[in-house]
Structure formats: structure tokens, C-alpha cells
Structure 1
Amino acid sequence: MSSCLLDNVLPPPPNNIDPTFTLLANELFDKLDAVNRHNLQEASTITERRAQIINDFIATFRTHIGNDILQSAKLIFPEKASRLYFIKEVALARLIIKMYKIPKDTEEYNLLHFWNRSYQKSKRFAVDERKIRDLPLQSARIIATRRPFVERCKEYTVPQIDSILDDLSMAKQSQDHSEILQPLFDNLRIEEVRWLIQIVLKKPILIHMEKYFFNSWHPDGYRLYSICNNLETTFNLLTDPNKRFDRGELAIHPRYKFKPQLAEKLTTNYNVVVRKLQKKQEMDPQYEGLFNQLQLESKFYIEEKMDGDRMMLHKEGNRFKFFSRRLKDYSFLYGESFQFGSLTKYLRDAFANNIDSIILDGEMVAYDYKRQAILPFGTLKSSAIQESVRQFTTIDHYDQQTSHPYYIIFDILYLNGRDLSNYPLFFRKNVLDRIIKSVPYRFEVHDARLGSSSADIEKAIREVVTSRSEGLVLKHVQSRYVIDGFRNPNWIKVKPEYLEKFGENLDLVVIGKNPGVKSSYMMGLQNRDQESADYGAYYSFCMCANGFEIEEFDKIERLTNGRWVNTAQQMPPPSLIKFGRKKPDFWIDPKHSLVLEIRARSVDVRPEATFAVGTTLHNMHCRRIRDDKSVEECISMQEYVELKQNYMQDLSLKSQAATTKKKELTKLTSFNEPSDLKQVAIESDLFASFEFLILSDKRDPHGGTITIEELKTLVKRFGGHLVNSIDAETSLQILVITEKNLPTSQRYLVQGLDLIRPSWIFECIKRNHIVQMEPCFLFDSQNLDLYNQRVDEFGDSYTVHSPIDQINAPRLTRNEVNQLRLEFDWDESIRPKFYLFEGITFYVLGESIASQLVRDRIERFNGEVIADYVNCGYIVVPNFEEEEEEFQVETVATLSRMYREIDQGLRITGGRFTSRIPFTVVEQFVHDSIESNSVADPEDYKFY
């Protein structure tokens, strides 16, 4: 086993004195938390001010404490510390209730006990945009009012806190947790209680400043951490800031985990990508010969994207390690030696004889040898566990399982003491092919074909469609490998385009929010047209409230803590953010915001003014928070416009965009009249005895808007007098027209005036006489009891002898009702489930009773089940067809035949799909969509 810098690292000499937890809280945590744009001191930006605080803290620590910061680092980076407490937010909140015997039905009890579902309801904090979701802060506030009076708080050293937290990580019962934590909660300063809870919950404290802290402590700090992801190893080596490490010492090494390189998504057409991947880069002469020998000029690699678990395999001698993309150690599942393991016991002859140490990058999938198919991602770990357990039991229960782990290798990063990450990809692949001996369907090098044109990509993507695979990854043949989750622009992932999905998921910047029991976030697109007057401004684009877990709400509020501005008190400058008609309750400067990956069923191509971009997305679902992306890397407004132009309308969108005939009511007037009211010709004296104060637009029966100016034109044509304010001396009757609750309209209401809906104007014109005022025409009034006497218990008028549906609910066609529903701005928390699958087409596989039950459930929620599997949105495989062994082979064969037919009808022009394919999902997709009242992301429910 070869040694390296990371082996046998000894702790540094002890510090002069032990640092206190108060030092960390006062000089680092509190100061960083308090930074805002109003207290930058001599700094020009918030980041610069935070950097100053970190530098001052480190200087103080080195001067007065010493060079051993490891124990403090475990508290500074709780999310990176190896301790696990198994205490989640809700568990901790309820633990505090027990500790301090908080009575039921009190405000504090309800806040803590129902933290996971009623968090936004507390009126006390609804206006506090900085701390609304900060459990550590709220808990500390409650503890301050409940704990025994302490005349002088106790000061704990960092080693004492570390020791207590070690004990906490070993405790299993809530009673043990209470006994360990309550003395700290009772004796620490309240500010320190807050940070202790933050540490116990393993929530990051140095948001966006982690790398800076490492590199401020030592110039090689973060690189060293990135090659081992271990605080103890890192900070034990980084005691002397003047001692630098050479390139070889900072190389990756077996047994030490690091985050793998990632691929970028496709954002342009195939032709542009091909030109980018064909561009030859400068390289050392030693590689030029192999490059020419392999005939790689103007070529690029095309690999199938596997639907598994990204896994790094480390081998040193006869020992193995397996690390996931998230750095979890799965060695116990797949094996740590040749003797035991669901995978490693088959690898004794898989490597060339002279291989001692190696690091491989690949995808771990589950392979079903009976069906001869790679199974869905979710079955992977159960397959590995089953295979591991089988080795230690004689019970044949596991013999009924037919799947096992299958490692597909696509890169090599280390070989016999040498870091290969900086070598070109073609060199690494050449090495890989020469040293790996395949073990069929257990351990194989991934097939990487060479491509040279967009036609090659199109051919490969057709194969992906036919086999229902995940997609493709295109790779520059000379690309280097960069660790730590770097998204290499020379690795590009390409996925099939589906009917019920707007191309790729979009990475969008949060610019606003509406807090509530179910918060919704407004996303924006940046204008990057340098010739535009508002270059750099963010235009509002869409709002999303679906797909968020409780932890994600926490994280968003934590990352944006202190950045929200109340829109009612201060609007953003137009040079920063532009809103449409819809304005959020709070807005945030995008540079202090974060990125969300949003999946949408479709894009609305109709021009509309709700959002500043002019169009929006339908049926959105948050996939995740993109920690690895900055706001500058998100899609711009110009890129979105290009995507929209290439977007082929699916069945749902066509239904939404279908034009509807105008009602007879709207034919009464032409809204092409000149806006200058002096030019309006008076056709009638119908409204001659009234003065109209028109305060709002009118929502058209077809979902559009009749503006104030258009209403004024109409009133003028029929003899009405228009005013901009109330004149108490007028001899005419004053009518206040509105259907919006405005501050000015409320003032008039208090003065005794009725607020009348614009629909009354149209009804009068339609009948050619003044219709008496009835409840259906009133927006608000202090005399509602009087008006209610004019209708019966069903709202039917005693004097207007027409069906009430012709007065306040015109009879609409089904298409018009659907149109109104689609365009209505539903609050996500009250969206009717009946319309969940409206506009979505399904094909349900099989003719069994189980299949019919699935069809019935889809139709119950307004989905359409059709027999055309080529043009449907989703192909649903019922559980019966999926799980019953006698049907499994037939199901796979049927789907293969169907997808061959789908592929034959697939059209790709100029590197763009002009037709799309359906998602194939399991039945659980339908059930979970209904449960959440939101169309679930089919990526999580794919049938293999």
C-alpha cells in the first residue's frame, strides 16, 4: 500500500489556551449573521465584509489561541463534521417542549409541535422575512423565556462542547438527548444556544464562505479538503500557513473520497455542440501520436447515460472502497475485499496483473439477469443488500431475487500511484481498455462510440428512445477531469424530449416569495441583451410552490436569511427587478439569492402580462436546490426565448392555446376605439344621469382583461360622465366601478358608496335600459342586506325575469370553461384536485382489472385515457403488469414493440426534436400525483 500526504497525519502541538464557544459565537457566528448592506463599514460588498470578519477571526485565533483549529472547525462546519446525532428539526422541537414542559395550546407549543406543517401560520413572524424559518433562533427565543433564571451564564470551552456533542452522537433515547442538552440550554448565553442548535441540526453556518475560510486559514486549504473531505486530516495538516504543498501532494489518492466531475446539460442544438466538441485543444507532444493513431481528429465520444447511482471505486492492494456522488460510503454493500461483497467477490480476475492501486469512475446499476434488463434506480441498493445477505445465510428467500449490482466504468482517475485526472480523456480511456478484464453484467467498461456529426447524435438518441434509456453524454476527447462537483462544459448530457415536459429542466433564480402554509417562490430571468436599456435586470417569469420538502423550505430561508424586502414597503428598482401584474409579498436582490431546478409540463406561448417576461410555465415542480450553480449560470431571458421558439406544443398546450369564439356580450363594443375619450362618438344617452369613477380592469369571460381605458370608452359611448374623483356637489348619481379590493375603493365604501362590478355596465347595455342593482353586480356594499332582499334564497331575481346564469354566470362551452380554469391564478393550496390531470393523455398498459382501475382513477381526476400510445403523454404500467412474474416478460416485450413504433415516427430536424415521446411510468406516479395534488416528476417513476 503506497503512502501519501494524507496518511498517518499527526495532530499539531496543543494550543496556548483552549478557545471558548463564546469566542466562536461572538467573533464569527454573530458577526457574519449580522452583516447586511447597511453595516458594511469600509467594505464595498457583503462578501467583502464577511471576508474581513473571517480574516480578523483567524488572525485573533492564531495570535491568542494557537495553530490547532480542528475542534473549533467541527463547530464552524457542522455539516462537514463526521458526527451524526440523528435529531431532525421536528424531533428537536418536540424535545424542547418536553424539556421545558411547555403547555399544550400555547403559542410556543403550537410553533414547535407543528413546526413541520404550520410553520408559516404564526402571525408574529409572518412579517419577519429574516427569521420566519429559523428554528434555532425561534427555539432560543422560547428557551430564554422558559429556562430558570441564570445570574451569570456559564462559559464552555470548545473541547468541552466537542466532548458533549460526542456523547450526544452516542445517545439513542430522547431522554438521553434531554439530559445532555438541557444543561447547555440552561447555562449558555441565548445567542450561543441558537448556534448550538444550528450545530446539532448540522445546518451550515458559513453560507457561501466555506471555501474562503479554508483558504484564509491556509492557501492550500480547500484543495486539501476537496481531495479527502475530512476535517481532521485537513486541519491537522494545515497548521503552518507558510508551508505550501506541491502538486503531487495535492493529488487524489485511493481510500480518500472526493466529489466526482459532473456534466453540463444541452442548451443549444446538435450542430453547435458538434462544433464545440470538435475543436482541437493544444496538448503536449507525448499525446499527439496517440491522438493521431486513434484517428480522433474532429471526433467526440458518445456514451449512453445510465440510470443508476454514480459511484467511485477505489482499490488499493486487495482492499476496496465505494463512494457515491454525495460521498456516502457504500463499501459495506458492494464489498471491501475479494472474499465478501455483492460485487467485489466477482472481481478477482477483473484487473490486469500489475494493477495495485486504482480509482475508477462509473455508474452502479441493478441488472436483472432473468429479464436481461437494467432495473430502475430505486432497486439498486436493495439488490446489493440482498446479494450481501445471501452470502451469510442458508435461507433460500433471497434466491427468488433475480437482480444484482452491475458496475459500468466510464473513466479512470488514478493508477499505481499516479493521478490521471489532468491527462486527456482519450489517453485515460486507452489505459482503461488495456487494464480492465470485463466480468459480463457485473463489471464492464462502458461502450463509448466516436461521433463526428449531428447525424451521429441523432442516431444514438433514437437508440436511447427505443430502449427507453436515460439519455446520452457527449464528451470532448481531450477533456481533463476536475473534481469537487465541477460541471465540465466539455461533458454534455443529452436527454430525449418528452411530450409531457418542456425540454430540459430549467435552472431559475429566486427573486420573490409569498409566505404561507405552502410558500410559493417567484423566479426570474435576467436580460443579457447588452444593447437593451435595462441590461442585467431580472424579469419575473413564474411562481412555484410544488415539490418542496420541509428541509428545502428550511434551506431556502436559511440561505436567503436577512435578504428579503417587503414589497408593500419598498419596490425593487426597475434596473434590478421588473414585475408584471403579479407582485410577490417579498423580493430579494438576485445576487443574494439562490437557484432552483424547475420542471414544467409546458410553456405558455400566449402573450400575457402576469409576469414581466410575457409568458410563463405550466404545472411547475421544484426538483431541487442547485447548490452547485450561481445565479450567473442560470438561463437568461434571451436563451429562454430561443427555447420557446423551438418548443413543440404538446397536446395539453394545444388545448390551452386553442382559440375560442367571443361571446355575444363582447361583440357589443369594439375595443379598437381611440383611447382619447374626446374622440369617442356618443351613440346613446343610456348612462347620461350617472357619473362613473372606474377604478379597475374587468376580467373578460374568456380569461382576458378589459382595461380601465376600454371601460371608459364604452361608458362614454353610451352617454356616461367620467370622473377621476368624487365631487360631493354633483347632481348626478355616482357609481364606483371596481372588481379589485383597493385602498381607494375601501375609502369610498366607508363613505357609504356601493362598489359595483363592471358586469353591471355590460348588462345595462345588453338590455338597453338601466338594470336595478342586485347582489350579483356588487363587489362590496354596506347595504348588502337590503340588496339581498331583491333575490330569493337561490339568488334568483324577483324583478329581472331572466335565468340568473345569463346575468352573473353566462353559459360557457366546455372549451371556454377549461380556458378560464387554465388561466385562473390558482393559489396552490386550494387548487381543485378534480382538474389535476386536465389536458394530459394517458395510455394504460394491459387489459386486466388492475389496469381498468388505473384508468378509472386517471379519469376521475380529469385525465384522458386514449388508445394512441405513440402520441400520449404517459404510458402507465400498472403494478399488476409490473410485479406479477407471469406478465413481466410479456410487459417488457410489449413495451419494446411500442417503442420501436414510437422511434419510427420520431422526427429530428437540425438537431432539434420536432416530435416527442411519452414517459413510461409505474402506477405509483398516478397515486403520488393525486396525493400531492401536483403532477409528480416522471423522472422518479420511470419503468425500466
Structure 2
Amino acid sequence: MASADQQPTSCTSTGASTEPEGPTVASQIPFVQLCGFLERVQKKKGSDAKKLLFKEFLEKWREFHKAMHAKNPNTTDNFYPAMRLLLPQLERERMAYGIKEHTLAKFYIDIFGLAKESTDAKKLLNYRAPTAKQEAGDFASVAFFVLRNRCPERGSLTIKDVNDSLDSIALNNATKKKDLVKQSLLNLLRKTSAIEQKWFIRMIMKEMKVGLSQQSILGTFHPDAEDLFNVTNSLSKVCSDLSSPSVRLNEIAISVFSPFSPMLGERAKITGVERMMEHKGFLIETKLDGERMQLHKEGDKYMYFSRRSHDYSGSFGKSPMEGSLTPYIANCFNRDVHSCILDGEMCAYNSETKAFISKGENFDIKSLRDEEDVQVCYAVFDVLLVNNTKLANRPLKERLNYLPKVFTVIEGRMVLVERRDASTKAEVVEALNEAIDKREEGIVVKHPESTYRPDKRKGSGWLKIKPEYVDNLMDELDLLIVGGYFGKGYRSQLISHFLCALAVPPSREGDHPKIFYSFCKVGSGYTLQELLDFNQKLAKHWKKYDKENPPRWLQCTREKPELYVEPQHSFIVQVKATEINSSNVYRTGCTLRFPRLEKVRDDKDWHQCMTTEEMENMRQQAEGKLTGRHVNVDDDEIVTTKRRKATSRAVIPVAVPSRFRAADTSNVKQTSEMLEGRELCIMNSPASHPKDQLEKKIVECGGLVVQNPGIDTYCVLADKVNLKVKNIFSAKIYDVVKTSWLIESLDAGRLLPWLPSHMLFTSAKMTAQFALDYDCHGDSYTQDVNEEKLREVFANVEKKKSKQPMTAEQIAEIEMDYFPQDSLLGLFRLCRVYMDSCLVIGEEDTHIKDCSLDLVSLEMRFHGATMCPMLDRQVTHIIVDKSDLSRVREFRLRGQKRALKQHVVTSEWVRDCIQKEKFLSERPYEAAMS
């Protein structure tokens, strides 16, 4: 770097003399010097040594700035131009470049005129593939090796030039001027060396990978830098206000319309709450499932900032005349409040059910408008400023006293978060169990003496407790790994993330699933050693995923893996998550929120993974949440336990027995045209006609033989129905014909037509054709029948008679296929209902009162429900009369011990469902305990 004793010369036309606002240090420091510093930091071992290098670089910058200022007092800038390049992930002013690695690779290929099939082009496009140790997983490193012989040996740009180029790219991307973005990149390529391009790429990708953390850089720059950034989220303000290390920030200032990082809750165990609250009283708040949002108000101007300081004022309303929220709350502020800052949660509220809606219901609160009874509601839990009076340094209990003086609650628009006083672990357990019953996200425990400390989590005095933090509360999902993604950074040589799938239930009971739907992507929950074990297990079985010709058994939508593995070569993993969200990214139509891998299920085979049907049942019963059980206040197992180490399974080598190998037909001569142009696949054959002999006969007759059916296969032949044949059945694509048909055709010397008796499985097309010629028992409408064929028809009739009656699930499936919107008779088809019999227990006898539920029971049966005389494990709904709620508490206690969620609802739910002709959510009709 150029220091005070090594004055740099201006490299471009943006020198000091041409800047009307005064000279800048950034316009005098060559960008290559910053890149050289980053190279040294990256190669240095140990965080202390890296911080020492940064301190030296910073001191040289300050010395040079001092020397420039002595010559020209109008020197204007500070360390911000360099800081925004060192910490690009924190820079908000030019946040969106619209460029990812793949896009940048295409730009480079186009700019340098590389052939798409050339080695260098493939390196750029497939940078994550571990082709070379020093390159794998890091696009910047790969680009360096490709560009090193194509760029100038030394660049001519300054730090200011690079910042100007980045700002230009961001601006052109925002205005969708892709040609200008490409032009900016081309200009940079002409004026920078390969090593500068390497670091420029990392800056634009916002992944520096030098081993210097945000805390280390800000802490070295100034002791108060991190605190000021947490409040202001502005690197520019940090560098300007704290340019001198001798000047300390006396007080963190929270001001109107300046966003800051909010105070956060520390993750805690229930058993430690009393100790962390100093064995004193505390507050328990409901943790709402919304988006953290600050509301800044001054007069009639409003601004809304997210947790990461994004401005969403345009969505919620900058004035009382615009937005989805401000027009509804502008009049609720007290007249003497002209300015304030509130902290809270922006939620979606259903005005009909008078309940908040989970984020898992696939909506964006920022773009939500009042439609179908869903509206934006702001739930407030803290106040930080009122009329220029700063409250952050005051205790929470004092801040809460201000809230009623600031605004008046408007139901469904602006409310106060529910809170209660507590002092014991038992009260925390009770509050968490209530949150579980209400399908809420959890609870927050707050120390009443806590002050507001922006961006602080540990030791803040706020504790967050969610069901997923408590062991054994969350439902565990057994998913199959079907795909993988190359890692980055220290995982660059590994498959670091995995695509997990659900199995589509096979058509026949006992068969293994053959189709799998993509469901979620998991990249956390395992150690590096466990990740190495996973990679070792699957190393031999990974295959490249071809988007143009994907494997038929794996069905994906938008999210596709880079590699895939056949199900029989994979294994099941146990995954936990907070809830199930709707998503069109995965084939299942839903995915998991915050999934994490718990362990490998060595006790289960690949085909025993969770099915789509099981997932849908869980989703409906739990309304998307994955917590079904309660915490026990006397349970010493409340604390989270360590996950058992995943053990390796032995990999069994796979070999193909000789009887399954293809016959050698290289010397077979064609003698007939009976099977000309037809492709056949023989799965197995009778002992009297070996498979290889039949394959040679097919070739003699002009046919083609394959070992696995494809899109051109005429039919599949089999003598016995084994596992492999069942797999073909489940695909529902191919006609599977008995091998006897081929033998009969060969004996007859001509291709015989298929008869129903020949078929093991028929495709949809063939089934339709048979329906025109034969009845459901295989009896032909046009051909005479002999004794043997007649016996076959009678045997088919007997088989039809012996079939079991359809289950409620099968009936529901038919109703959905044929009457998806017309029939109401299956409204409660999947409900197993227990009616509260209104028992009255006296001292001498027990009798049943006259109950109004008799008619309700008949109505539910009429609409498809299964009525249960006993309250067994399969009951999904308990119907009670709202005039007698005496047994609701007993039902609730029973339900806490059940794995399957059951709803205790009043009969109003049944009547409203029938009246509105749709299955309504049970939550608004849940019976209250008397």
C-alpha cells in the first residue's frame, strides 16, 4: 500500500486535482495494493496474525490521509471506501448487483470469446465440481486461473474507481440495463490484473474468505465501531463518526428514521430460566410468527424497517394516505405524541377467525393487501423513543408503562403483544404448552430490569424458548437422501447439502416405492466428520443430474440437485424442523422451515422413508406446525440432549448374476420380420425357455432387446412378478405381458394379439382398448369362447367377489378424482368422530341426558364421517355441545398423551362446514375449558 513515505501517483483521470469536492485518499490508492493486502491476510495463519496485518494496513491509510491533509486541508474522505470493500456483505447502499457465479461465468465466456465446450469455459460453468484441489468450490479462484493469461499483468484502477464501477453495476442492474452491466465488467477486465479480478469477484459476491470476521475488522478499526454499526447499520456513519481512534462514542444514539439492529432473544433451556432471571419475577410474552419490524413516526411521516434495516415504508405506508397499514393506525396515536419509535412484529391477521396466521401459509406480509379477510396487523412489544425522549437505557418495566400512552389498541390492526407476570419454571412450562396448543412459535421470557441493547443477544435479559429447543417435543421425519450439492469454502471438496425426498405410496400394499418427490434441502445439523462419513458412503453412487433428461423416479420442480443417487444406494436420515411451509420450489408442494439433520436411521432400509400421504396427514393435523406433545414440568429430560453420533453402514458390493445378463446376440442372424422394429425387455422367463434363448429368438425375428425399459419399449415380458417387475408396475407406463404370449407367438409363427389373460399390467392406453373389446371379467364381446377361456372368465368373477370393501381413504380418493368440487357427501370422509354423550354421573346412578348432538351425528355420517363409539387412538375430532363443556378438560388431558393430534370442537364447526360447503379450520371452534 502507498504510505506517507511512498506517495502513489494518480492512475486515472479521477485524480485529486479534478475532484471539485476536494482530493480523496481512495482516488490515490491503487486497487492492486488492497488486493495484495488481502492475499497476505488470506495466507496468514491465526486470527491474531490476520488482525495485526489489518492494523498495519489501517495505520498506513491513516498516515497517508494525514500527510495528504497536511498538503491540502480539503482532503475529504475517510476509511469508508476501503471498509465497504473489506465488508461487502454489510454494505446496504449498493446491495443488489444481480450477478451470481453462473451469470458472471457466461459474461467471461462471452467477453473472451471462449468456446462453450472448451476446458476453460467448462471450468467457469462447473466451478463447484472438484476437478482440481486449488479450484474446487470457489469461483473466484477458478476465474483467476482462467484469466491469468488474459488480463494485464498490473491493473490501473484505484479504490475509488472500483467503488464507482460497483455502484454503476448496482444502478444498471436496478434499471435492468444488462448491456451496461456487461460493459462495466468489460471495462474492469481491461484495466485489472487476474489477481485483482479474483478479489473483485469476491467483493461482488460478498464472500471475502480471508478469515477476518466482521467483529475483528470493526473492533480493530475502533472499540465502539461494532456498537455504532449495530444501531445505525451504516458503514459510512461508522467510518465518519469514528475516524479517530481516540474519540469514543459516549452514548449509542437511536434517532427517528435511522434504522438500527434490534435487540435479540438468547436461546435458553427451560431449566435455566429461573437462574438467568436471577430468581426474581419476570415477564412472559407470546412469540408471534411474523416479521420483526420497527415503526418510526414523526408527525404524519411514517417509516418501517426490518430486522436487517430494509426499508418497507412503501409497502406499509409512508403517510396516512397510502400503504397496507398506516391508513388504519394513523388515528390511533395519542394527540400529544408527535414522534416515536416502536419495536414489534408485523403479522397477518384473519378478521373472520380473529386469529393471527402462520407465515407457513405461503404469503408475503410485505405485499399483503386486504383480501379474503386477511389483513396486516402490527403487534407492539417495546417503545424506544417518545417525543424525543430516549428510552433505550431505561428498564423494560418503565418502557412498557409508556406504551398505553403512545397509542390506542385497534383490534386486528395495531395491538399489544400478550404478556404475563411469572416467577417459576412451572409457569414457563405452562406458557409453552399453551403456545403449542395454539400452534404459536413459542414464548419470550424477559427480565423487567433489562435495558434495550441493539443487536445484543447473549446476556441481553431476553430469552426465547421454542418447542424445537426442547428435546422429544418435535415430530421427527425420516427422509431419503436423493440429491447433493457441491460445497463452498472449507466444504469445497465435499457434497455439503443434500436434497431429501418423500416416497409416493406404491399402488399395491407390500411393494417398495418407485417414485420420489423432492421435499427439502438440508445443510445443517451434522459435524464435519459426519459430513465426511456421508460423502464416503455415497461417493461411488453419485451421478450427474441432467436437467434435460432427469431420472424418472425422481420428480422435482424448481429446485434440482447437481448430483443424484439411486434410492437403493442411499439411506434415510432423521430430520427435525419448526414447521411445514407451502412451497412451489419442491414437487411435494410444501417444504420444511429450518430443517436440520438429527441422525442417520441405520435401523431402516431406503424404502421405509416417509411417504407423501403421511406428510399430508401430519400437515393437516398439525396445521403446519411440527410440535404435538407437551413439556412435563417434572421431566428432568427437558434440556436438549446431544445427538448420537451417526454410524457408518457397511456398503455391500452389487453384482449382476449371470442369469440376468443380456444374451450375446452379435452373431444372431435375422430370419423373420415378425417383431420388426419392436423393442422388448424380458425381466424373467420360465425354466423351459431361458431368458437368453428368448432374447436371441427376438433378434432372429427382427426385434430389439433391452435390459431396462425405455421410452421406445413395446412391452415388458415376465413370467413371475418379483420386486423388479412390481417396480415397473408402479411406473404405470409399460404394458407388462406374460412370457407365454411370446412363446405362443413364436410357436404360431406370427404375432398374436394380446388378450386380457396375457396381461400382468396394462397401460392406460391398452386398458382403454381392452374396454372396447372385453368386459371387466375378460369376456370378449365379439369372439366365441371355448371351455378353457370360460373357466378363466368364471375365475375372474370369483376374484372380483373376494375383494375387500373400500376404505374411507379409498372412497375419498375416488371422490377427489371424479367429484373434486361437486360432491359434498365426502366433506368429513377422513374424519373419525367421537360425540360427547353428555354423561351425568351422580352418587347413585349414571345416565345420559337428552343431547342435541344426535342430529349433528346424523349430519356428519350423511357427509361421510366415520362415527366412533369409543374414544380410541384413531379419533380425529371430538364434538361437544357448547351448552355443556364439563368434559373438555378431560379430553384435553387425554389429548396431551396422544401422538395423533385431535380437535375438541363445538357442534358449530360441523354446521358452519356444511353451510359454507367446505372443510373449515378447527381453531376458531376449539371448545374452551370450563
Deviation at 1:442, TM superposition (A): 0.8
Report 1:782-861 matches (<5 A): none
Deviation at 1:48, TM superposition (A): 0.8
CA RMSD of aligned residues (A): 6.1
Deviation sequence 1:350-397 (CA, Å, 0-9, x none):
23333333221111012232343323326797565464xxxxxxxxxx
CA distance in 1 between counterparts of 2:349 and 2:638 reads 41
Partner of 2:169: 168
Report 1:854-873 matches (<5 A): none
Deviation at 1:470, TM superposition (A): 2.5
Partner of 1:337: 319
Given the alignment of the two structures, is residue 50 of structure 1 paired with residue 50 of structure 2, yes or no? Answer: yes
Deviation at 1:19, TM superposition (A): 1.4
Report 1:227-246 matches (<5 A): 227-246=231-250
Given the alignment of the two structures, is residue 430 of structure 1 paired with residue 401 of structure 2, yes or no? Answer: yes
CA distance in 2 between counterparts of 1:441 and 1:345 reads 13
SS across alignment from 1:240:
coil
Deviation at 1:315, TM superposition (A): 2.0
Deviation at 1:103, TM superposition (A): 1.3
SS across alignment from 1:79:
helix
Deviation sequence 1:506-541 (CA, Å, 0-9, x none):
xxxx999695677559xxxxxxxxxxxxxxxxxxxx
User: Contact between 2:138 and 2:489, CA under 8 Å: does it hold in 1?
Assistant: no
CA distance in 1 between counterparts of 2:121 and 2:416 reads 57
User: Contact between 1:314 and 1:358, CA under 8 Å: does it hold in 2?
Assistant: yes
Partner of 1:155: 156
Moved more, 340-349 or 237-246: 340-349
Q: 1:260 aligns with which of 241, 259, 262?
A: 262
Structure 1: which amino acid aligns with 2:278? Answer: K
Deviation at 1:211, TM superposition (A): 2.0
Label 1:853 to 1:63 Cα distance change in 2 as closer, same or farther (>3 A): farther
CA distance in 2 between counterparts of 1:306 and 1:404 reads 15
Partner of 1:135: 139
Partner of 1:105: 117
User: Contact between 1:502 and 1:600, CA under 8 Å: does it hold in 2?
Assistant: no
Deviation sequence 1:721-746 (CA, Å, 0-9, x none):
xxxxxxxxxxxxxxxxx9669xxxxx
Partner of 1:708: none
| Higher-Rg member (1/2) | 2
Given the alignment of the two structures, is residue 219 of structure 1 paired with residue 223 of structure 2, yes or no? Answer: yes
**TM-score in terms of structure 2 length:** 0.52
Partner of 2:620: none
Given the alignment of the two structures, is residue 319 of structure 1 paired with residue 301 of structure 2, yes or no? Answer: yes
User: Contact between 2:447 and 2:461, CA under 8 Å: does it hold in 1?
Assistant: no
Partner of 2:789: none
Label 1:441 to 1:62 Cα distance change in 2 as closer, same or farther (>3 A): same
CA distance in 2 between counterparts of 1:65 and 1:843 reads 80
Structure 1: which amino acid aligns with 2:274? Answer: R
Label 1:22 to 1:299 Cα distance change in 2 as closer, same or farther (>3 A): same
Partner of 2:710: none
Label 1:796 to 1:256 Cα distance change in 2 as closer, same or farther (>3 A): farther
Report 1:111-122 matches (<5 A): 111-113=123-125, 115=126, 120=128, 122=129
Label 1:255 to 1:645 Cα distance change in 2 as closer, same or farther (>3 A): closer
CA distance in 2 between counterparts of 1:252 and 1:12 reads 31
Deviation at 1:230, TM superposition (A): 1.1
Q: 1:448 aligns with which of 397, 415, 419?
A: 419
Partner of 2:331: 349
CA distance in 2 between counterparts of 1:643 and 1:386 reads 37
User: Contact between 2:341 and 2:386, CA under 8 Å: does it hold in 1?
Assistant: yes
CA distance in 2 between counterparts of 1:178 and 1:441 reads 48
SS across alignment from 2:269:
coil
Structure 2: which amino acid aligns with 1:25? Answer: C
Higher relative contact order by CA 8 Å / sep ≥ 6: 1 or 2?
1
CA distance in 2 between counterparts of 1:383 and 1:155 reads 47
* Number of residues of Structure 1 aligned to a counterpart in Structure 2: 596
User: Contact between 2:319 and 2:327, CA under 8 Å: does it hold in 1?
Assistant: yes
Structure 2: which amino acid aligns with 1:31? Answer: R
Label 1:459 to 1:214 Cα distance change in 2 as closer, same or farther (>3 A): closer
User: Contact between 1:407 and 1:442, CA under 8 Å: does it hold in 2?
Assistant: yes
Label 1:136 to 1:367 Cα distance change in 2 as closer, same or farther (>3 A): same
Report 1:278-297 matches (<5 A): 279-280=278-279
Partner of 1:94: 106
Q: 1:33 aligns with which of 33, 42, 47?
A: 42
CA distance in 2 between counterparts of 1:597 and 1:59 reads 46
Label 1:334 to 1:845 Cα distance change in 2 as closer, same or farther (>3 A): farther
Q: Where does structure 2 lack aligned partners over 5 or more consecutive residues?
A: 1-20, 67-76, 478-487, 500-517, 537-568, 572-591, 605-609, 616-635, 665-681, 689-720, 727-806, 821-828, 835-862, 864-875, 904-920, 925-930
Deviation sequence 1:834-878 (CA, Å, 0-9, x none):
xxxxxxxx99999697857999xxxxxxxxx975699xxxxxxxx
Label 1:219 to 1:796 Cα distance change in 2 as closer, same or farther (>3 A): farther
CA distance in 2 between counterparts of 1:381 and 1:136 reads 36
Q: Where does structure 1 lack aligned partners over 5 or more consecutive residues?
A: 1-10, 41-45, 281-297, 388-397, 504-509, 522-544, 569-581, 585-595, 609-616, 622-638, 648-696, 706-737, 742-754, 758-773, 779-783, 786-791, 799-808, 815-841, 856-864, 871-886, 888-893, 921-940
Label 1:895 to 1:34 Cα distance change in 2 as closer, same or farther (>3 A): farther
Given the alignment of the two structures, is residue 408 of structure 1 paired with residue 379 of structure 2, yes or no? Answer: yes
Deviation at 1:908, TM superposition (A): 10
Structure 2: which amino acid aligns with 1:275? Answer: E
User: Contact between 2:282 and 2:447, CA under 8 Å: does it hold in 1?
Assistant: yes
Partner of 1:276: 275
User: Contact between 2:312 and 2:366, CA under 8 Å: does it hold in 1?
Assistant: no
User: Contact between 1:843 and 1:867, CA under 8 Å: does it hold in 2?
Assistant: no
Partner of 1:74: 84
Structure 2: which amino acid aligns with 1:30? Answer: E
CA distance in 2 between counterparts of 1:868 and 1:601 reads 34
Deviation sequence 1:530-579 (CA, Å, 0-9, x none):
xxxxxxxxxxxxxxx98549xx89xx9xx99xx999999xxxxxxxxxxx
Partner of 1:599: 595
Partner of 1:19: 29
Label 1:348 to 1:793 Cα distance change in 2 as closer, same or farther (>3 A): closer
Deviation at 1:156, TM superposition (A): 0.8
User: Contact between 1:300 and 1:476, CA under 8 Å: does it hold in 2?
Assistant: yes
Deviation sequence 1:868-889 (CA, Å, 0-9, x none):
699xxxxxxxxxxxxxxxx9xx
Structure 1: which amino acid aligns with 2:216? Answer: Y
CA distance in 2 between counterparts of 1:565 and 1:58 reads 43
User: Contact between 1:474 and 1:494, CA under 8 Å: does it hold in 2?
Assistant: no
User: Contact between 2:130 and 2:492, CA under 8 Å: does it hold in 1?
Assistant: no
SS across alignment from 1:491:
strand
CA distance in 2 between counterparts of 1:386 and 1:13 reads 48
Deviation at 1:330, TM superposition (A): 0.7
Label 1:55 to 1:274 Cα distance change in 2 as closer, same or farther (>3 A): closer
Label 1:47 to 1:474 Cα distance change in 2 as closer, same or farther (>3 A): same
Partner of 2:466: 494
**TM-score in terms of structure 1 length:** 0.52
Deviation at 1:303, TM superposition (A): 1.8
Report 1:858-937 matches (<5 A): 916=899, 918=901
Deviation sequence 1:45-103 (CA, Å, 0-9, x none):
x1111111111111121123457112222222222222132222222222222212221
Q: 2:207 aligns with which of 192, 203, 209?
A: 203
SS across alignment from 1:227:
helix
